[in-house]
Every structure is written in structure tokens, then in C-alpha cells.
Amino acid sequence: MGFAAGWYALALGDGLEPGTSAGTQLFDKELVVWRDASGASHVWEDRCPHRGMRLSFGFVRGNHIACLYHGWQYDEAGQCRHIPAHPSLEVPETIKVPTYASVEAAGMIWVQSAPEATEPPPADFAAVPVRSLYLDRAPEMVALLLEAGLAGSFESLSSSTFGIALDGADLFLALQPYGAERSALHIARTGGDLSPKDIAVWAEDLRATLEALPAIAPASAARQAGALA
């Protein structure tokens, strides 16, 4: 099983403060998620066109992001606007960082993995963001194990989102296919009043379970899910 082109959560929205950036990956491709001074979030290829440095190593200045190496600055559309070594230069429009469509919904920052994806953006609903959980496990296997109910009574809401009821709270989990052998689960509370810290503790147990479970085949996952239904 693979993941279709579509919308994937990359981070919790409130975890990315205005004027900061974070590096991440989706399907092994390096992305920078950053929030400008006005509060808008952006998802770009994490690569300065100048020398290939990761932009997530750099700094947000106002509504521009600046590369750590030589300070080249890019505006909200990815267009280079300032090259410190050539301060009077009118920067050519060809110096541009590839950008991705992104939205904030359900307390998370989502990116459209490919421009040709036709799926609509994720629905927004009230959610209390709790934490992002990073796993040394292939995303396909994480999805299979969750669907098969081997790590708890999860409900599959889509191929990459899951729900679970936990001690009177409703949780929403969005799977980020980080790379071939790594995944992230972004976790928010959508109902109930279990404390975020208690949910974070539960999430550590979930990570331990998901990393320890033996691999399963898709067919057996479906069988086990059927048996549990």
C-alpha cells in the first residue's frame, strides 16, 4: 500500500511560533515550514537556490526568511528579494524557492504533497493540539498497525488520519509519511477534557507499542481488523 498525492499534516500549528521555522520531510523530501511575523504559515522546498543550504537552518525576519549561509532573503511567495552581498541589485525573478499549497486546519499545518492532487483541503474543526510523535517506523506499517487495531481501538478516518476515544476524550491523529522508515503522528484532542499532558504520556506508550510490534502484511491486517470489528 502506498499513500496517494493529497494533504498531509506536517506540524501542530501552535508549535510554530511567529517568526520561526522548522525543517521536516514528506516522502523523504526536505521541506521548511515557517510562520512569518504576521502569523501566516508557509511550506516550501527546504533549499536555498543559491548554495543549497536548508532554509530551515536560517532565520525569519519580518515576513521574509533568510538563509543562514549568505543571508539571501525570500518573500512570502518564495521570491528572492535581497542579496546582502549585492545590496543594490534588482534580484532577478528567476531566483525563487519552490512553494507548496498549505492550510491550517484542526490545529495542524497541512501541505498538498503534489500540485496535481485533486482532493479538497482538510476540514477545519475545533481541536486542542497536543504533540507531534516521531516514529522510527515506515508510514505504511504505522497505518496498517493502527487500522488493524493492534495498538488500540483506532478508527480510520482516511488513509492517513485516525480517531480514538481515550478516557472520555476524543483524539484525532494525522500521519505524516516522513520518509521510507520514519513517520510522524500529529495528535490533537477534539473532545473531552483529558489533560494534554496525560495524552502526551499516552502518546509515548503508543510510540513504544508501534515501534515494537512485528511487521504485518496488508492482508493479515485486514483480517485482524475484520476479526476485531
Q: DSSP strand E in the chain: where?
A: 7-12, 20-26, 29-35, 41-45, 59-61, 64-66, 73-74, 80-82, 99-100, 102-105, 108-112, 128-135, 155-156, 161-166, 169-176, 183-191
Angle between helices 139-147 and 218-228 (to 10 degrees): 20
209 binds other proteins (CB under 8 A): no
DSSP code of residue 71: -
Compute the least distance from the CB of residue 184 to other proteins, in Å. 8
Task: Give dist(CA 174, CA 121) in Å, integer.
Answer: 14
Number of residues in contact with other proteins, rule: CB under 8 A? 25
Q: Residues 157 to 186: which contact other proteins by CB under 8 A?
A: 178, 182, 184
Options 153, 195, 209, 220; binder of other proteins; rule CB under 8 A: 195
Mark the segment that binds other proteins (CB under 8 A) among 72-80, 153-161, 198-206, 221-229: 198-206
134 binds other proteins (CB under 8 A): yes
Q: Between residues 36 and 147, which has the closer beta carbon with respect to other proteins?
A: 36
Options 4, 37, 68, 157; binder of other proteins; rule CB under 8 A: 68
17 binds other proteins (CB under 8 A): yes
